Structure 1
Amino acid sequence: ITYLKNGNSVYFTGNDSIDDTKGIIDEEKPIKLVILDELTEFFERGQGEDEISNIEATFVRGNDDEFCMEYYFNPPKNPNASIFKWVKKMEKRSDCIHIHVDYRDVPEKWLGKKLIQSAMEMKKVDERMYNWIWLGISIGLDEIVYYMFDKDKHVLDRNLTNDEINGITRIDASCDYGQMNATVFEFWGLNPTLKTVFGLDEFYHSGRESGKQLTPSEYAFKFKKMCEKIKEEFGQYPRNLYIDPSARGLAEEIKRACPFIKIRGAQNDVKLGISRVQKAIAFQKVLFSTRQEMLLNEIVIYSYDKKSIESGIEKPVKDDDHCMDALRYYIMGIWKYIKRYLPDVEKNEGGEDD
């Protein structure tokens, strides 16, 4: 974008490689201000400090004065994240100023009352999450991933009422598939009137624990029987099955056995998926059934690997997580609906800006 009166220009670019920024340098008119936004992406998906240093070296060349670089990022939950090591290095530089801001640092009229109310709603239901998302505080990671789960709040120990059943506009299923490991099907009902997802039922089979491994065609038959049970009880077949894309053989068998259902490859971004499930649980937008016995067993022990937390790249422990994967696949699959039921917080997936 060029301001014609004086020729000043603003350039916008991504940075898949260092060559992306080299191409916009004008040797006759050195760039005086460079802004890097979403800085955590450089550390999580790029080359981190090396990449940032290359960009700085590219633009500072030929600038004798009045040159400035600004870096913006939402602080990760984990205080051991790589970006914080870089921040500590930068703070030692005499030419660096580190400023932390949150939504309270700007006039309320800029934000609007709805956004303020959203922040207060989150503070009410989960102050820890509020401190991270709205205040940008690195709160650290609980060892238990879904620490906000409360059996008394999130589990219905009764059958659904007629209003709850009649308000379900779509039923979906999600699947995590294992050969010797467990295979699980979870069934869910979306009720837009009550702005709630209801867990409906569950199928779980472990070849290792039972001593009998099922073939993909046998699992497809079991899934079909579960779908017929759902249809009889709730008046409709599941519409979609969100399944790990690597389970192609099972997906093909289910497609043949259940022509009424659409196979959807699950979005398998674990970090983002966990964040979204946490929000759905925190605001009680997903309620579970006592029929989902294995899911309820897993959700209270699903935890991060301690060593991964210390290294700054948190990863859940890959044990007893089959139902947790199926839950995440489903929430990711229908997120466009779930986020409508939340206070206006999804606009910011992370914390506030530094």
Structure 2
Amino acid sequence: MTIDSNTIFPTMFNNDFRDIVNHKFTEYCEKGGRGSCKSSFLSIAIIWLMVNNPDFNALVLRKVADTLSDSVYEQLLWAIDVLGLTDRFKATKSPLRIIYTKTGQRIIFRGADEPKKIKSIKLKRGYFAITWFEELTEFSAEDVETIKLSTMRGGDKFWIFYSFNPPSSARNWCNKEFKSSRKNTLIHRTDYRGVPQEWLGQAFFEEALSLKERNERAYRNIFLGEPTGTGRNVFENVTLREITQKEIDSFDYCFYGIDWGYYPDPFAYVQMAYNPAKKTLYIFDELELLKHGNEQASNALEEHLLNWYGTDVNGHCKVNYKNDRIVVDSAEDKSIGDFILYGWNIKAAIKGPHSREPGYKWLQSLNEIVIDPARAPHSADEFSLYEYEIDRKSGEILSGYPEGQADHCMSAVRYAMESVWRRRGG
């Protein structure tokens, strides 16, 4: 079966469809704003996969079963109709399912109210090659893993589809989990601007532009699918982008920090540079380790920096990185002593009551904190997700920097930059 993709889904999905057909990835996340046609695209892809693979069945899920018939069920019937295959499928509402009559393949619909029960579904032919989690934000991460363990068996090829409108809070698990593409997972964000206007209607575009004029933050979240934040972000000056090697090579001086940890708190090493004229901090290298003793952490850091700087023709590191001063958490005398013994140039940070506040205030005062999310993903997450807390009774934002949120890389940054922000009076 072949289709003319340019007439049934927006061209912005062409590469995704090609990857799905060629099974380039196992997991595909289509996230985006209202009117982005992501669910329409996935419903077409599911029907195409089934028609072209006689052993493939599909499991389509919403968190609550009562929402299935008016959403994904109708969406898949639409896809069947658009593909001109209505006479080849039989659809029933009790039970809720769609059958490809030529082979008996099935599209089964289930709510994830009790995800463990899904493993009891029996098929007459083939296996569940396709699983679609629609409105992923309704599920918990645990729901998803439980269901995948139940369905990913009986075959050698699987397609897991996720679709959702990103919540405004960057701390939401979907936003954190599906931030950028990774091995075996394609993540694609789309919005209505890539959809032909006649498909959505003039009124839709007018509504979007009206909201943009009234509330741009809400517009960016609802229509562009951006996790714009809750308005409680501590660091509003963070920019996530690639920091090129050319930029890194141009820095005159770099700063290094370590926050000690073992488990559940990690050992965190971060490298950065600062441009005082632009009041801009650049974070472009890190190493996080769990369950590493001091000697193991030292060895891992040496290996990391050897890879970072590269070696000469004799196999020696091009840079004597142990000459670089690393400012570390002063609370662990043993760790400091061990690392000095291992040959590192260690300086203990100046700490005391309320020592975080001046460092964080200085970071907030910068024009920009640029973080490369590929080179320093944990730093990117921590700075992006760090939010002021809310009083549960009044709903008001609480003052002060919250405890309990991940801040290990942020602490390493604060230690590393101590000589700068203390010289400027915090």
TM-score tier (shorter): 0.3 to 0.5
Bigger relative contact order, structure 1 or 2 (CA pairs below 8 A, ≥6 apart): 1
Q: TM-score normalized by structure 2?
A: 0.38
Structure with more strand by fraction: 2
